[in-house]
Amino acid sequence: MRIDEQVFKPNDIRGIYPTQLNEQFAFMLGQALVHALGSRRLLVGHDSRTSSAPLCAALTEGTRSAGGDVAALGLCPVELVYYVMGCDVRFDMAVMVTASHNPPQFNGFKLVARGVEPISERSGLAVLRRWLLEAPAAAPPAAKALQKTVFPEDDYLRFALSLAGVPQVRSLKVVVDPGNGTGGLLWTGLDDALGIEPIRMNFEPDGRFPAHDPNPALLENLIPLRDRVTVERADIGFAYDGDADRTVAVLTDGHIMDGSEMILALFQHLFEGDQEARCAVSMVTSRKVLDFMRGQGSEPLIVPVGHAKVKSILRRDPHIAFAGEQSGHYFYRQFHCAESSLITTLCLLHMAASSRLEPLVQSLPGPWIAPDREPAFHFERQEDSLAACRSAARRAVEMFPDPLEIMCERDWRVARHCRPADIEQAEAIRVDYRHWWFCVRPSATEPLARLTAEAHTDEDLMQKLGALSALFNTA
């Protein structure tokens, strides 16, 4: 087998099964974890994709053939991996076999070190890549199905309830759509603990994702949940992605909370009145939330997009209590600076029970209008997309002078109040004006550039998106 270098992303390994990733790749990766990284005690888990259990079994065979030991979580949401790695020192590393929110033909591997430190290109993925590219092909033996040997579910539920508190929700009507991923497993035992029976949609784990793709960031995947919430007159609805590290909430009037609104709600619930707690938000966060926080005298820390970058910043700065991304990732310092959809769900149930979510959303300044789908522009190579982002941002600032602020990502940090000349060294750029803003950044997983924008009116948004898109189309 020839290793396809394109599967190595900055923060994980991901590709199409079985053409880019298959059992042979998984077997060799298991060997590489022992030989290249010295990880002899491994924890493994997997999502519901049809290829995940076979890949997990092949990975295990590879690790054991190299002299390592493996313990298995089996089918699980990824936060169970984080929980175990944060409190059990027996394991050197964990691997979650998942492609997260990607369509069913994809799969991949998320790697986590002891203490829930994510393994990225900076901290081990580059080493694994070199070892796998240089190693002779090794055919895996027939792998037996893995038996679950680690059972942390009850302990994790108790931990989450102790951290978020037990919401008084017996009178609430709740709709839950895990989209045939592993999010439904978060509700195992939670319904009894809270004394409610949620209205279940697509609860059965099924890696073909027959109901819809496991990406709750796309509106079309949330329409069935939204419709069910409104028809049932439910108090709140929840959606999760394939491995349940993204959470989206739908309010009783059918409003789908975007990531920025979720960040504000979670931060207010957990840290209201705590003047010392700081919040970190990604550089594509909506101005309605940034302006609201600033109006309350709280300036959030702006951080780059990408879970490994956010976690790295949280781990370095003990003053940041919570962080969130527009895509639906929410990170808790008290949960090892990692995502927890269970804690997120509990916090929002608290707020739904006290009828605080709708008034909070309605109180946000604006209007700030965003497109239903984020524009993206494809290029031949990853470096081409970065060059196009820089060129488009530079030309946009020339076209629309006198911005309020330019932000530039450099070396996993966001520099504030930059000059136009700083754009040439930036890895992502955000430019704010009084009535609109835009952010351009290359994708971390494929050779495309992403454009995020908001404006006060639909007309202004369409005009600005058209002008910016033209800059990319001529790049």
Kindly give the confidence (pLDDT) of every residue in the chain, 475 residues in length, as a single tens digit, with 9 standing for 90 and above. Answer: 689 999 999 999 999 999 999 999 999 999 999 999 999 999 999 999 999 999 999 999 999 999 999 999 999 999 999 999 999 999 999 999 999 999 999 999 999 999 999 999 988 999 999 999 999 998 888 878 899 999 999 999 999 999 999 999 999 999 999 999 999 999 999 999 999 999 999 999 999 999 999 999 999 999 999 999 999 999 999 999 999 999 999 999 999 999 999 999 999 999 988 878 999 999 999 999 999 999 998 899 999 999 999 999 999 999 999 999 999 999 999 999 999 999 999 999 999 999 999 999 999 998 999 998 899 999 998 889 999 999 999 999 999 999 999 999 999 999 999 999 999 999 999 999 999 999 999 998 888 999 999 999 999 999 999 999 999 988 6
Residues assigned a catalytic role: 100
Q: Which two tokens stand for residue 141?
A: 């033996």
We report the CATH number of the domain holding residue 442 as: 3.30.310.50
Same domain, 341 and 422: no
Domain membership of residue 412 as a residue range: 376-473
Residue-level pLDDT at 446: 83
Residue 22 lies in a domain: yes
- Spell 97-113 as b/e; 16+ CB within 10 A means b: bbbbbbebebbbbbbbb
Angle between helices 126-134 and 23-35 (to 10 degrees): 120
Same domain, 236 and 357: yes
Closest alpha carbon to 262 in 223, 289, 231, 302: 289
Residue-level pLDDT at 382: 84
- Spell 360-399 as b/e; 16+ CB within 10 A means b: bbeebeeebbbeeebeebebeebebbbbbbbbbbbbbbee
Closest alpha carbon to 315 in 94, 92, 39, 112: 112
Q: What is the pTM of this model?
A: 0.96
Residue-level pLDDT at 234: 98
Same domain, 264 and 319: yes
> Would strands 41-46 and 69-75 be described as parallel, antiparallel, or unpaired?
parallel
Residue 82 lies in a domain: yes
Residue-level pLDDT at 273: 80
Number of independent structural domains in the chain: 3
Same domain, 186 and 291: yes
Residue-level pLDDT at 226: 98
Same domain, 337 and 434: no
Same domain, 23 and 115: yes
